[in-house]
């Protein structure tokens, strides 16, 4: 497998630019909360010789590859097998009380998409797995087999924002009554048959359903809702966080948490803002920043990215 070919870190230079002021100091630590194959982490370790990177990932395959790619950095590269809502425990386990930087590169990784046997890609027939941590938890096939029609509809609507959720849920329940749905190719065929021709012209019928199943299997949104506050609590004064999100549901969570952290908590009508009400963070970019047109052209996986960033400006007393 050619790692350099399949794995191009998204918005790498901009991410480095935003985190650099916080992590260039001696003894600084950065948490790469979604380590993947270590593309971002390698760049940080190369450019900041005093930096320690704590890489988190639930995917044991990704951790194995990252260990090999970052072996030359010795003890400056640390590895923790955990879901990223375990960020606080991971930081403590590596001997740190706080960190100067946190990076989240959310969504499915290049490794997961490009290994057909993982079942993430609707364009490749494979077992319906979709677990980011293949050592535990329910698979997508389990969700398809065990969920009621009403529950499947909810998953497709809530996590995929799929307008045909009811139609697809009904078609799946009807099909699984005849034989188990265990492969991505089976599911794609069922969804395609249930999709009006006019709708098929607007995009692949399986795209939103596969996204919804992946989010359900990996509990991605609930994990992110826990991880963002934990990450902010772990950041030292002057430290920074950068988050890359690839779909609107994730980006809304990130936006809400960062906006709350960067807004005064003073009740309306106070004649002056007391110090304890001042924001703990300040936003570093206006809204959500997109990848440049040139990067989107060179790396298609950069097209949907929305980047947000913030810096800690106050610690609670």
Residue 119 pLDDT > 90: no
Locate the domains of the chain by residue range.
3-111+220-312, 116-218
Query: What span, in angstroms and rounded, lies between the C-alpha atoms of 110 and 132?
Result: 12
Per residue in 209-246, pLDDT tens? 999 999 999 999 999 999 999 999 999 999 999 999 99
How many CA atoms, within 13 angstroms, populate the side-chain half-sphere of residue 285?
20
Range from 101-115, 145-159, 161-175, 263-277 carrying the lowest mean pLDDT: 263-277
Residue 1 pLDDT > 70: no
pLDDT, residue 107, reads 80
Residue 116 pLDDT > 70: no
Identify the bridge partners of residue 105 per DSSP, sorted by sequence position.
244
| Paired tokens of 290 | 């997109």
pLDDT class of 135 with cuts at 50, 70, 90: confident
Query: What span, in angstroms and rounded, lies between the C-alpha atoms of 153 and 43?
Result: 42
Percent of the chain topping pLDDT 90: 76
Per residue in 168-209, pLDDT tens? 999 999 999 999 999 999 999 999 999 998 887 788 888 999
Class of domain 116-218: mainly alpha
Residue 111 pLDDT > 80: no
For residue 183, which phi and psi values (nearest 5 degrees)?
Answer: -125, 150
pLDDT class of 117 with cuts at 50, 70, 90: low
pLDDT, residue 40, reads 95
CATH number, domain 3-111+220-312: 3.40.50.150
| Paired tokens of 6 | 């399949």
Binding residues for S-adenosyl-L-methionine: 38-40, 57, 84, 105, 112
Binding residues: 38-40, 57, 84, 105, 112
């Amino acid at each position: 497998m050619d790692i350099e070919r399949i794995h191009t870190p998204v918005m790498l230079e901009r991410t480095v630019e935003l985190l650099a002021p916080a992590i260039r100091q001696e003894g600084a630590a950065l948490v790469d909360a979604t380590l993947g194959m270590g593309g971002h982490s390698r760049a940080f370790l190369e450019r900041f010789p005093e930096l320690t990177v704590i890489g988190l990932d639930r995917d044991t395959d990704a951790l194995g590859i990252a260990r090999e790619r970052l072996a030359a950095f010795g003890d400056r590269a640390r590895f923790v097998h955990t879901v990223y809502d375990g960020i606080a425990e991971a930081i403590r386990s590596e001997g740190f009380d706080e960190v100067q930087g946190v990076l989240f590169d959310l969504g499915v990784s290049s490794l997961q998409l490009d290994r057909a046997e993982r079942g993430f890609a609707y364009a490749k027939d494979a077992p319906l797995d979709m677990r980011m941590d293949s050592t535990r938890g329910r698979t997508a096939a389990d969700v398809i087999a065990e969920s009621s029609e009403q529950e499947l509809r909810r998953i497709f609507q809530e996590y995929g924002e799929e307008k045909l959720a009811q139609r697809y849920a009904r078609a799946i329940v009807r099909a699984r009554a005849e034989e188990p749905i265990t492969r991505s190719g089976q599911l794609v065929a069922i969804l395609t048959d249930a999709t009006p021709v006019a709708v098929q012209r607007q995009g692949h019928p399986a795209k939103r359903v596969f996204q919804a199943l992946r989010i359900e299997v990996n509990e991605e949104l609930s994990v992110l809702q826990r991880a963002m506050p934990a990450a902010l609590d772990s950041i030292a004064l002057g430290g920074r966080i950068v988050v890359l999100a690839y779909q609107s549901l994730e980006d809304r969570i990130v936006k809400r948490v960062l906006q709350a952290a960067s807004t005064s908590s003073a009740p309306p009508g106070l004649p002056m803002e007391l110090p304890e009400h001042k924001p703990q963070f300040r936003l570093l970019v206006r809204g959500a920043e997109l990848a440049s047109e040139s990067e989107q052209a060179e790396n298609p996986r950069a097209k949907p990215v929305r980047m947000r960033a913030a810096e800690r400006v106050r610690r609670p007393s």
